[in-house]
A and B are shown apart, each in its own frame.
Chain A
Amino acid sequence: MNLRIEALAEVSYVIPEGRLDFDAAPGFQEAVERVLGGAGKAPAAVIIDGAALEYVSSAGLRAFLLIARAAQRAGTSFALCALQPAVRDVFELSGFSSIIAVHADRATALAQAHQGRA
């Protein structure tokens, strides 16, 4: 899995590309936690842009759960957006969409983050 990070002033976008399976999940979690703990100061918001995320298994869900908790500890709002249908299904079936905010696109995710509700 490839991972791109776009760090802006108040929000960091994380863009995973490919498969978030048992093999990719630990590295993904570490990378996002580095963004959260980053150079001294945590960003106000971290948003995962899922447009290129093709697959998430329970190992990937575990990573998202641990990242969401780390974000909460850091006082950073955390959300996902632009999930592909198959990935959105996994989030909904597992009930994760009730504990991690999932938005249609970056603009919506960012607006919600600014209102402190992401």
Chain B
Amino acid sequence: MTVQRTAVPADAAQLSVLNQFLREFWTAAALAPAGMRPFELVLEEIFMNIIMHGSQPGIAPQVEVSLMLAGDAVTMTVEDDGTQFDPLSLPPPDVTASLADRRVGGLGVFLVRKMMDTVSYARIAGRNQLRMSKRLDG
């Protein structure tokens, strides 16, 4: 079992640091590159959500990301000390709406749910915790 952890402030410029962390984990665990794409997308969507919903004026939450490989499944856990916010409470977007009526709000979280096998939210000791798992090659 491989576990790695990193932490950055909730600032959009830090996404590249998190992406680098993800790439290094993937390489160290000798996983097939194609399997990384869903996690890359999920990382951007969740991190940008925290920046948008978790921040207060002048205070950027700290965001901690951990990656774990157990068997053939990768679990990504994203924790932050920002405002309480459960992204899974967002109403799902209407993905059948016409071009004119289509809204983009909520699409990021919708994609996270679709891409991962399991997604769960918890508020633990004043922190938001989102845990996402996906079996590789599945």
Contacts and interface: CB of A to CB of B under 8 A. Distances in A.
Interface string A35-62: 0000000000000000000010111011
Contacts, number: 54
A41 B96 CA distance: 32
Q: Interface on chain B toward A: helix, strand, loop, or mixed SS?
A: helix
A90 B96 contact: no
B98 interface: yes
B39 to A, nearest CB: 11
Interface string B15-38: 100000000000000000010010
Interface of A: 21-23, 55, 57-59, 61-62, 65, 68-69, 72, 86, 90, 93-95, 98-100
26 contacts: A21-B15, A21-B44, A22-B15, A22-B48, A23-B15, A55-B40, A55-B41, A57-B45, A57-B108, A57-B111, A58-B45, A59-B48, A61-B104, A62-B104, A62-B107, A65-B104, A68-B99, A72-B99, A86-B34, A90-B111, A93-B110, A93-B115, A95-B96, A99-B97, A99-B99, A99-B102
Given A65-B99, A93-B111, 7 more contacts: A22-B48, A23-B15, A55-B40, A57-B44, A86-B34, A94-B107, A100-B99
